[in-house]
Amino acid sequence: MAARLIESLATTELLAEVFSDRSILQAMLDVEVALARAEARVGIVPESAADRIAATAHADEFDIPALSRSTFRAGTPSIPVVKALTDKIRAIEPEAAGWVHWGATSQDVADTALVLLLKRAQTILAGDLRRVEKALITLSEQHKATVMLGRTLMQAAPPVTFGLKAAGWLGAVSRGNKRLESAFHETLVLQFGGASGTLASLADKGTVIAGALAEELGLSCPEAPWHTHRDRLAHLLCCCGVLTGSLGKIARDISLLMQSEVAEVAEPGGEGRGGSSTMPHKRNPIACALTVAAAQRVPGLVASFLSAMVQEQERAVGGWQSEWPTVASIVQSTGVAASSMAEVAEGLSVDPARMRKNIANTKGLIFAERVMMFLAAELGRDVAHKLLEDTIQKSVAENKDLSTLLAEQPEVKSRLNPSVLDQLQIPEQYLGSAEAFREFLLNSTTSNKGKH
C-alpha cells in the first residue's frame, strides 16, 4: 500500500504496509487465533472453538475506524479488538465466544502483535541492507586505485582512495547490521503473562501454553513475561539509531561529493528522481536527503522510547501506551535510510577524472606534509618549516604550483632536482596503508557474513 501523504518521506511502501491499520489488526487477530490453537493443543479450549476463532479472525471483516475510536476510549487497541471478535463469534457460534482471549491480558496481545510486525519488518530491512553491503563491496573493489582528495574539517587534505572511503562506509553498515540482527533475535519473543504476569488463571498450564503459543507464532519463548521490562525493544531501537546514523553519514558524504563545484559522484537519476520544479539543470541528491532526514529524525525518537522505559510495577501508566507510534516511526525511518542508500550505492556514478582534477586544483598544497618531511631531512626541520610556510602563502596568493615555487628557492634549488619535487606530488605515492586498511575492512565484513 502507499504511505499516507504526511508520511511519504518517512517510510517505504513495504514498511507502510507492515504498519498499516489492516496489518496491525491482523497481527492482533493472529495472536488470538494462535492462543486458541495453543490452548486447544493442551486440552483447555475445544478444537471447535479454536476453529471458529480462526475462521472469524480476518481483518477485512472488521470496522477499523470504529476500533480506532474505541481504542481511544479503552487505552489499548486489544480491548475493542477482543470485544469485536467475541461479538462476531457469538453471533455465529455462541458457545465458542467464551473461549476468545482465554487467560491473556490486553497487553499480551498488543505486545506480541508488535513483535510479529517487527518480525516482518526485519526481513525487509535485511534485504535492503544486504543490497547496500553488496554494492559497497563492488564500489570498493572497482575503485581501490581511484585517488581522490581526503577532506578534513571540510578542507582538502592528503589523498585517499575512493575504494577506502567505500570500505569505511561498508564497515560501519556491516557492524550496524550485525548488531541489528542480534537485537532482532533477542526481541522477537512472545509476550504472555496474563493479568499480573503470572498466568495464574491458567493454573499449572501457564508455561506449557506459553511454549505452545510461541511455537504457533514462530517466536521464541522468554524466561518470563516482560510487560514493564522494555530493554529488549530499547536495545533494538538503539541499534536502529546507530545504523541509521551510519547510513546518514554515507548520505552526507555523497551529497557533499555531488556539489556542483566538487562533482565527483552522482546519485542515479530516473523518472521523477532528483529534478527541480524551477531549475531544469538540477540533479539533486534526493535519496541522500531522505536518508539524512531519517538519521536526523531517529535519535529523538529513540530518546523518546528510552524515556518511557521507567514503567510502574506490573503494568505501566503512559509509558507503554506511548510506544507504538515511536517504534513504528523508528523502524520505518531505518527502512527509508536502508532502501535509499541501497538505491544510491547500486547506481552511484563515480568520476575518477574529476577526482584527479580536484587534486590537481590544490596546486600541490595537500602534499605539504610530505614535502615538509622530505625537506626537513635535507635542510633541517626549522629551516624547512619556515621555507614551506612562506612558499605555501605565496602559492595561495599567486595561484601557483607549490613544487614550482619551491624549485625557485635557492636553498632547495642547490640541493634538489625539480623532478624530485614533482614526484612528491604524485597521489598514488602518498597513500600509506590505504589499501591495507581497505582490505582489512572488506575481509572483516565478508568473514562476519560467513558466520551468520
Distance CA 105, CA 109 (A): 7
Would you say 125 and 240 are in contact if contact means Cβ atoms under 8 Å apart? no
The gap from C-alpha 273 to its chain's centroid, in whole angstroms, comes to 22
Contacts with 242 (C-beta within 8 Å, 6 or more apart), sequence order: 176, 179
Active site residues: 276, 315
Measure Cα distances from 308 to 108, 301, 357, 408 in Å: 18, 11, 52, 68
- Least Cα distance to 442 among 122, 157, 126, 143 occurs for 143
Task: State the distance between the two ends of the chain, measured CA to CA, in whole angstroms.
Answer: 32
C-alpha cell at 258: 555531488
| Cα torsion through 308, 309, 315, 320, rounded to 10 | 40
Local structure of residue 389 (DSSP, 8 states): H
Q: What is the DSSP string of 210-263?
A: HHHHHHHHT-BPPSS--TT--HHHHHHHHHHHHHHHHHHHHHHHHHHHTSTTT-
C-alpha cell at 296: 536526523
Cell 517505504, located at residue:
12
Local structure of residue 350 (DSSP, 8 states): E
How many residues in total does the chain contain? Answer: 452
Distance CA 360, CA 338 (A): 35
Cell 492482533, located at residue:
28
Distance CA 160, CA 2 (A): 42
Long-range contacts of 299-304 (CB under 8 A, 24+ apart): 299/241, 299/245, 301/237, 301/241, 301/326, 301/329, 301/330, 301/333, 302/237, 302/238, 302/240, 302/241, 302/330
Query: Three-state SS for 12?
Result: coil
